[in-house]
Structure 1
């Protein structure tokens, strides 16, 4: 009976392998994920934005535009990751393309 799915732990970063680098143009992928918190609460994470950009300024602009809270956290394997409150997957995808931080083929949206 150990195959019950909701008793196992879920790592939202497990599907982002290191061989994601080097797509059609040699670019890195930006992974946009959603994590379930408690109840109906969710958390949107954005991993893979180039280190040449100031993530704190991106979070500040996102917080203002999406009317949500957000922060930058340090992940031990993937470096700095943006966290936003709520399901902001489509909003952050459009925002990154509008600000020309990423092309559509660089963005990978994950979630349920």
Structure 2
């Protein structure tokens, strides 16, 4: 038999650098957008990580108009203010 050197690939975490440097929400310029499919055509979209100096009311109004949907704000202790669409 021949000796074959088998190498297993290590796990790769694309967000490791961001998680190591940023432990608080809103301190970096990252915006997290999550789309979750509910049932049928319905889905839930969350936007978090926007800077505090932005006008959330204007952003929400523009998103509602562009995406033809309803939206609201949710205040979270860890993540800050979140836009739900």
The TM-score with structure 1 as length reference comes to: 0.48
SS at 1:33 equivalent: strand
Q: Distance in 2 between matches of 1:20 and 1:35?
A: 27
CA RMSD of superposed structures (Å): 2.4
Residues 1-112 of structure 1 mapped to structure 2, 5 A cutoff: 19=20, 21=22, 27-37=28-38, 39-40=39-40, 41-84=42-85
Instruction: Structure 1: state its 5+ residue gaps.
Output: 1-14, 85-112
Q: Distance between the aligned counterparts of 1:69 and 1:76, measured in 2?
A: 23
Of Structure 1 and Structure 2, the greater helix share is in: 1
Q: How many residues align?
A: 64
Shift of 1:68: 0.8
Aligned residues of 1:45 and 1:82 also touching (Cα < 8 A): yes
User: Normalized against structure 2, the TM-score is what?
Assistant: 0.61
Point out the structure with max Rg over C-alpha: 2
* Counterpart for residue 5 of structure 2: none
| Stretches (4+) displaced over 2 A | 17-21
